[in-house]
Amino acid sequence: MLLPFFWMVSTSLKTTGETLAIPPVWLPEDFKWENYQTALSMAPFGRYFINSLIITLSSTFGEVVTSILAAFAFAKLQFFGKNILFTVLIATMMVPFELLMIPNYLTLSKLGMIDTYWAMIVPFLASVFSVFMLKQNFEAVPKQLYYAAKVDGASDWRFLWQILVPMSKSSIVTVIILKMIGSWNSFMWPLMVTNETSLRPLPVGLQAFTTEAGTYFALLMAAATIVILPMIIVYLFLQKYIIKGISNTGIKG
């Protein structure tokens, strides 16, 4: 699992000759730290970083809010067709996103959202996987606690945000982390819906190192290291919540 990361960092410190050498050079003879400075100067990575931050934070906040509300409705409320609707939503998880790209693109085009931040945020403000994960966790909270809160005069809204959400912190943090990593690393969709360089996120910005003359592998790996470093740090610090949140998902009663 660690080998691709090692190879990426190692290649980012090589000369052009070492990146193309056969047999492969595992460690460069002379570490080229200047590759990172060169990579940062070849593209407006400051602008790309801000774009990635805006897209990631906005879509993550939207998905967490919609997932919490939907999961609460499916877990604690009673309404006509609840089980059928939830089954239909779960079934949509079997549809690959690639199949939805063209319909989503046409819809956003008619709404005039192409080449805007909205095109990279709106389609990802909800996630069936996140709803399913939080629903399972909410159902693990005893119904007696919900009924006791209702007897004490608490509304559904108050019970959700003051009792249920704090008790499900690990699962919610897991949803946040997984969403942030997925949004931060998104490439194909932002590439499709943006034409202006000033709107593109970091992964799309890595194209600057691939030209008609070839690919600058050392500089590309240096830029890729910079791109994924924030998410690695986030994961390392919060990985315990992912493990705890996923382990709690299948527990009911």
What length does the chain have?
253
- In Å, how far are 74, 127, 221, 249 from 131, measured between CA atoms? 9, 6, 36, 11
pLDDT means over runs of 10, the chain (253 residues): 87 84 84 85 85 94 95 90 92 88 92 91 92 90 85 88 88 88 89 87 81 72 86 78 59 46
Tell me if 131 sits within 8 A of 70, measured CB to CB: yes
- Give the tokens for residue 182: 């997925």
Q: What gap in Å lies between CA 226 and CA 219, rounded to an integer? A: 11
What pLDDT sits at residue 77? 87
pTM score: 0.82
Domains of the chain: 3-249 (1.10.3720.10)
Burial 2-20 (b: 16+ CB within 10 A, else e): eeeeeeeebbbbbeeebbe
| 112-169: pLDDT as tens digits | 999 999 999 999 999 999 999 899 888 888 888 888 888 888 888 999 998 899 888 8
**Which pLDDT tens digit goes with each residue over 176-191?**
988 988 899 888 899 8
